[in-house]
Amino acid sequence: MNIFVIGYFGQNNLGDEAILESFLEWAQSEFDMPDFRVLTANSGETKKRHNVREVDKMNPLAIISAVQWCDVVVAPGGGLLQDATGIKNNLFYSFLLGAARLFGRRPVYMLSQGIGPINRKWSAKLVARAVGQCERMTVRDEMSLRLLDEIGADAAKVKKTADIVFLLGRDVQHKTTQDKLTGISEKSGKRILRIGVSLRPTDRLEHISGVIQGCALRLTEEYEVEPHLFVCDGDQDVAPMNRFAEDMRRSAPDMNVIIAGEMKGSPLSAREMIQYLCRIDVMIGMRLHSLVLSTLAGVPFVALPYDPKVTAFAKSCGQPLVPNPAHATPLEVTKMIKELMGDGRADSIRRLKELTSNNIEIVKSSLAGLSRTLKETGTSSTFNILGIPLCRLGFYGTLRKIMYAAQTQTKLHLVTVNTEIIMRARHDKECMELLTGDAVNTPDGVGPRITALLKYRRRIEPVTGIDLMTHLMEQSRRQGFRLFLIGAKPEVIEKVEKRLSEHPDRPLIAGVHHGYLKDVDPDVVIKKINDSRPHAVLVGMGFPLQERWIRDNKDKINASVFIGVGGSFDVLAGDVRRAPELLQKIGLEWMWRLLNDPARIARMKAFPAFILLAIADAFRGD
């Protein structure tokens, strides 16, 4: 299942990144080998955060390419259809939904949307038309449902659900009751009151900040107040939150004002913020998702609505909200907080807990319907290339599959398949069995990709052994992912080990062993690997020797992932140079290898016959 995910991603906004995180986790667990491309405003950041292929939202050709690549277009949440932030918004998403229909005839699903505000008649018509282009739409609140009805959208396509971010609450471990404060200050002897604060730029923000400061000072009569400041948008919130911190420290020098995270322009992730919020007693928030995540953590809140969606959410939670923050007073907010910390606290926490459980079930039920529909109409997870199943996952999809296998301790054998391997398998029964058994075959080389294009009209990404190995090594220390390397000559693997140990970002290499195993006791090798406790074993012995070794030994080894990487260790040792990146991208790496090693010409003889067979296979179909 190839999914093009669209939304306000890559814009350093906690709520939108939480939406993306929630959807990716759900789809990963729901579908067999899903792959994703994600619309983003910040190339590099989305890939770094979520390990997905990016689509630049300012590049129409890249958007059209993603539409043609995918099986389905999904907008998993957010407030995409509104004109409060300008007229470009609805124009952009109307273009995008139209492209999905025009260039790919791909079904579009918009999930957990917050609709509006819509202030222009022609904008309302665009939104109604966008709903008409969707196979299905769900909205996250009653207000959005009413607004779509008012503008004449197709009501049959729209259902009410909840914010998809509630799925992150499935595994939250928080205090089930917070009816008593848990900290007594040694300095003052007072109970510590940890107040979360989330502000955003808005009209009369200076007044709102002053109200919260005045509230905190009033509360110091009874509590030792400890403000914890949360940035929810790294581009917009940093300046006002820093100003608030400075003013608070100036007015109360003894108060411990804490900034959650480093506040260097990037907010905490959703899971980090939920974990942090479990230590907070009450939240005062303007941002919608500061309140959603507080709900997931079981933290009562006071809402400062700058938008109708915040008002609607606070009312649905039964939490107090300031009707007009621009005219609020410190006394008004102080009374609300004292109520949440007093007799009303237990009831408030109970309501939040019930709401979280109910909304999780609502979102799961809504997504279950989508899952059934996509599975019924979905495509196979593999391409059949001359009798060999070739995985449709792209590079980042394959990496996610590797990590998922390691997390769930599921055996995974990856074979990187090129033209030579396919042609050999046609004449070697054992090789064919290696490729059609329980291994996952990925496209390494231009031959399988040409065949997929001819037969299925699909462009597929190369997933090579050396690229997988390189990326896993780059990520291993950050992910705690341990690798064992086996293969190559003794002097080559020793050189690899030495070079990796000297690397600035030294990967977690559990151990190494050369690939000349004829005179080596296999039990000794297996014990060495098991004693090193790797997550993945990279085997560089060439096809089919490495695949035979993996087949015969993977069940004896306590690792989850096994990848045949061919001659990649020679490249890692510096004995062989890879082709320039441009040649890799345009599929001419084979030419570079041939120029550097003319003896490979004998291995290229099979290519013309392969192309003829691929053309015949394309006409014949499955």
Looking at the whole model, is its pTM more than 0.85? no
Among 412, 536, 416, residue whose Cα is nearest residue 472? 536
Q: Largest Cα–Cα distance of the chain, in whole Å?
A: 86
Among 248, 568, 561, residue whose Cα is nearest residue 414? 561
Contacts of 552 (CB under 8 A, 6+ apart): none
SS3 200: coil
Structure letter (DSSP) for residue 162: -
Please name every residue paired with 39 in a beta bridge, in sequence order, or none if there are none.
55
The first and second tokens of residue 520, run together, are 């080596």
Helices (H), 77-204: 88-104, 121-133, 142-150
pLDDT at 2: 87
pLDDT at 197: 96
pLDDT at 90: 79
What does the alpha-carbon distance between residue 20 and residue 25 come to, in Å, rounded to a whole number?
9
The first and second tokens of residue 170, run together, are 């499935």
What does the alpha-carbon distance between residue 594 and residue 603 come to, in Å, rounded to a whole number?
10
Helices (H), 225-344: 238-251, 270-277, 288-296, 308-317, 330-341
pLDDT at 64: 87
pLDDT at 455: 85
What does the alpha-carbon distance between residue 152 and residue 170 come to, in Å, rounded to a whole number?
36
Q: Is residue 300 reached through a cis peptide bond, with omega within 30 degrees of 0 on the bond before it?
A: no
Q: Decide whether 2-161 matches 191-353 in CATH topology.
A: yes
pLDDT at 179: 43
Instruction: Return the residue matching tokens 């394309």.
Output: 618
Cβ count near 296 (within 10 Å): 30
> Could you tell me which CATH number the domain at 2-161 has?
3.40.50.11720
Q: Give the chain's end-to-end CA distance (angstroms, integer).
A: 19
- Residue ranges of the domains in the chain? 2-161, 191-353, 382-611
The first and second tokens of residue 430, run together, are 């054992």
φ and ψ at residue 575, rounded to 5 degrees: -80, -20
Instruction: Return the residue matching tokens 């009413």.
Output: 146
Write out residues in the chain with pLDDT < 70, as ranges.
104, 171-183, 185-186, 261-266, 377-380, 585-588, 590, 594, 599-605, 621-622
What does the alpha-carbon distance between residue 269 and residue 232 come to, in Å, rounded to a whole number?
9
Instruction: Return the residue matching tokens 């341990």.
Output: 482
Half-sphere exposure of 276 (CA within 13 A, CB side): 22
Cβ count near 298 (within 10 Å): 23
Cα separations in angstroms, 413 against 216, 513, 549, 562: 58, 19, 11, 5
Strand order in the sheet with 108-113: 53-56, 35-40, 2-5, 72-75, 108-113, 136-139, 158-160
The first and second tokens of residue 258, run together, are 């804490």
pLDDT at 621: 63
Q: Is residue 201 reached through a cis peptide bond, with omega within 30 degrees of 0 on the bond before it?
A: no
Dihedral angle sign, alpha carbons of residues 300, 306, 312, 315: positive
Note whether 440 and 415 are within 8 A (CB).
yes
What does the alpha-carbon distance between residue 39 and residue 24 come to, in Å, rounded to a whole number?
13
pLDDT at 262: 53
> Could you tell me which CATH number the domain at 191-353 has?
3.40.50.2000
Alpha-carbon Rg for the chain, nearest whole angstrom, is: 28
Cα separations in angstroms, 324 against 70, 219, 230, 307: 45, 21, 22, 11
φ and ψ at residue 103, rounded to 5 degrees: -95, -15
φ and ψ at residue 229, rounded to 5 degrees: -100, 130
Note whether 546 and 566 are within 8 A (CB).
yes
**239-279: pLDDT as tens digits:** 899 999 999 999 999 899 998 865 545 678 888 899 899 88
Question: Residue 565, Cα to own-chain centre: how many angstroms?
Answer: 27
pLDDT at 449: 84
Please name every residue paired with 208 in a beta bridge, in sequence order, or none if there are none.
none
**577-621: pLDDT as tens digits:** 877 777 776 666 767 776 777 766 666 667 788 888 888 888 776
